[in-house]
Amino acid sequence: MDAPQLIGQSKEFNEKINTIKSQFFSLLDDFKKYYLYYNKNPEVNEFQNYYVNSKSQLQGMNKDLFLTTNNIDKYIETLNNKMSSISEQLVDEKTLNKEMVEVISNLENTQNGSEILITNSKSKYNEQYLKNWEVFIGIVVVVSLFQLFRKVEQKYQSSF
């Protein structure tokens, strides 16, 4: 049931109770009056008819009140069952939300960790790249020095 149905149903119950409430005291007064007239003068058919009529009206009102109260109880029980069901769903959704928050947190941590790993990898790459150039330049310098020493040695040997 949605909210408009709930409001409509409660208004309907309220109207029935107010109708019974507004009619009850006048019917009760009529019943008392005709009960006295009937018991004082049981031979008068008119008093007997009024008494029976007021008694049946009061019993009908009592029946309506009982049925309305019973319907209210059933309606409350239905609402209680629905609220229990919604409460269970809410607990499930809260559990799911908690799990999703943990997953998001882990993903954010993973993303942060990935960014850190990428930064670390880049710095290690750059360090290795520089070392490779240093080694290359060192090899070129050493080879050049050997070449230079060889030429110098050859000139020195040719001069002797």
Residue 77 is assigned to a structural domain of this protein: yes
Q: What was the pLDDT predicted at 4?
A: 65
The reply to whether 144 falls in a domain is no
Q: Is 101 inside a domain boundary?
A: yes
**Residue type at position 59:** Q
Q: What's the predicted TM-score (pTM) here?
A: 0.55
**Within-domain flag for 141:** no
| CB-side neighbour CA atoms (13 Å) of 67 | 8
Distances (CA, A) of 97 to 89, 102, 106, 138: 12, 9, 14, 60
- Would you state the pLDDT for residue 128? 94
Averages of pLDDT over each 10 residues, the chain, 160 residues:
69 89 90 90 89 92 92 90 93 93 77 76 92 94 89 77
Nearest in space to 32 (alpha carbons), one of 61, 15, 54, 11: 54
Quote the CA–CA distance of 68 and 19 in Å, as a whole number: 11
pLDDT the model gives residue 11: 87
Residue 56 lies in domain: 3-125
106 part of a folded domain: yes
